[in-house]
């Protein structure tokens, strides 16, 4: 029996982020949820983890439903602290619920599952040669995304739409921009995008493959825990 922690950069629990992964896990898996911002007020979050102009930025959500822009370096330090705590509590597997890049994260014995590595590898292999349109949450993240996906050929295009918007109108517009430019597939590059967003695009008539990180991570992780 495996003990697995879903670790978000925001506040736990985040069933909207973990549901696509859980669908692939064995029924015997024991699941915990933890977050870097657990127990913090909005003001404390802004003070300790708030985004800094000119630095890498991430987007997440608090349990009150509000979204927050976060400094990636501060989040990385917070993630390592949480990983250490979850290992001490007996976690065998720690799954990050974020597609950001955190190259310095380490575990002592637990398996660390980083969506960034899984998703980039999947797209680079399965969609090799396809024209992929990427959607990221914030305009400030486009420069980082270009570097992250620099190995994709043909050169990828990027649009932005928050996964935490009240409706999916902006996401649909972002997707249509890619399709009009000839995209063969869409990659929604944030754990905040899930099955609901994919269904929304399908309902709007979009038929090209729409990839979400949770689905990719779940398909890769499930067989390892059977």
| Residue 39 shares a structural domain with residue 105 | yes
| Residue 47 shares a structural domain with residue 131 | no
| Residue 76 shares a structural domain with residue 144 | no
CA neighbor of 14 nearest in space, from 166, 191, 206: 191
pLDDT at 213: 96
| Residue 99 shares a structural domain with residue 81 | yes
| Residue 92 shares a structural domain with residue 133 | no
pLDDT at 224: 84
Residue 26 CB neighbours (<10 A): 11
What is the three-class DSSP state of 134? strand
| Residue 92 shares a structural domain with residue 171 | no
In this structure, is the dihedral angle defined by the CA atoms of residues 93, 95, 33 and 69, taken in order, positive or negative?
positive
Which DSSP state fits 98?
Answer: -
What is the three-class DSSP state of 173? helix
| Residue 109 shares a structural domain with residue 78 | yes
For residue 140, pLDDT over 90 is answered with yes
| Residue 21 shares a structural domain with residue 108 | yes
| Residue 155 shares a structural domain with residue 44 | no
pLDDT at 33: 97
Q: What is the mean pLDDT of the chain?
A: 95
CATH number at residue 147: 3.40.50.2300
Q: What are 78-130's pLDDT values in tens digits?
A: 999 999 999 999 999 999 999 999 999 999 999 999 999 999 999 999 999 99
CA neighbor of 9 nearest in space, from 25, 29, 33, 41: 33
Residue 225 — pLDDT band, cuts 50, 70, 90?
Answer: confident
Number of domains present in the structure of the chain: 2
| Residue 31 shares a structural domain with residue 97 | yes
For residue 178, pLDDT over 80 is answered with yes
CATH number at residue 72: 3.40.50
Tokens coding 60: 């997440």
| Residue 135 shares a structural domain with residue 106 | no
| Residue 27 shares a structural domain with residue 79 | yes
Residue 84, domain extent: 3-114+215-225
Tokens coding 91: 């976690």
Residue 192 — pLDDT band, cuts 50, 70, 90?
Answer: very high
Kindly provide the b/e burial profile for residues 88-113, where b requires at least 16 CB atoms within 10 angstroms of the residue's own CB: eeebbbbbbbbbbbbeeeeeeebebb
List residues bridging with 70 in a β-sheet.
50, 58
pLDDT at 1: 77
Which DSSP state fits 206?
Answer: -
What is the three-class DSSP state of 225? helix
Cα–Cα dist 76/98, whole Å: 11
> How many residues are listed for the chain in this entry?
226
């Amino acid at each position: 029996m495996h003990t697995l922690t879903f670790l978000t950069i925001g506040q736990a629990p985040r069933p909207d982020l973990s549901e696509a992964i859980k669908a692939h896990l064995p029924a015997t898996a024991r699941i915990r949820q933890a977050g870097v911002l657990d127990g913090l007020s909005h003001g404390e979050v802004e003070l300790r983890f708030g985004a800094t102009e000119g630095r890498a930025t991430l987007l997440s959500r608090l349990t009150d439903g509000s979204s927050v822009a976060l400094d990636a370096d501060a989040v990385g330090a917070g993630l390592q602290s949480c990983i250490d705590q979850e290992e001490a509590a007996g976690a065998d597997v720690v799954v990050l619920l974020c597609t950001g890049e955190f190259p310095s994260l380490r575990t002592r014995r637990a398996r660390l599952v980083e969506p960034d590595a899984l998703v980039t590898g999947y797209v680079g292999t399965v969609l090799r040669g396809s024209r992929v349109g990427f959607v990221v949450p914030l305009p400030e993240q486009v420069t980082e995304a270009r570097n992250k996906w620099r190995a994709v050929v043909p050169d990828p295009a990027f649009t932005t739409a928050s996964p935490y918007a009240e409706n999916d109108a902006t996401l649909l517009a972002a997707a249509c921009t890619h399709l009009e430019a000839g995209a063969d597939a869409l990659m929604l590059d944030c754990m905040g995008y899930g099955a609901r967003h994919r269904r929304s695009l399908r309902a709007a008539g979009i038929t090209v493959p729409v990839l979400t990180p949770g689905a990719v991570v779940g398909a890769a992780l499930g067989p390892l825990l059977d």
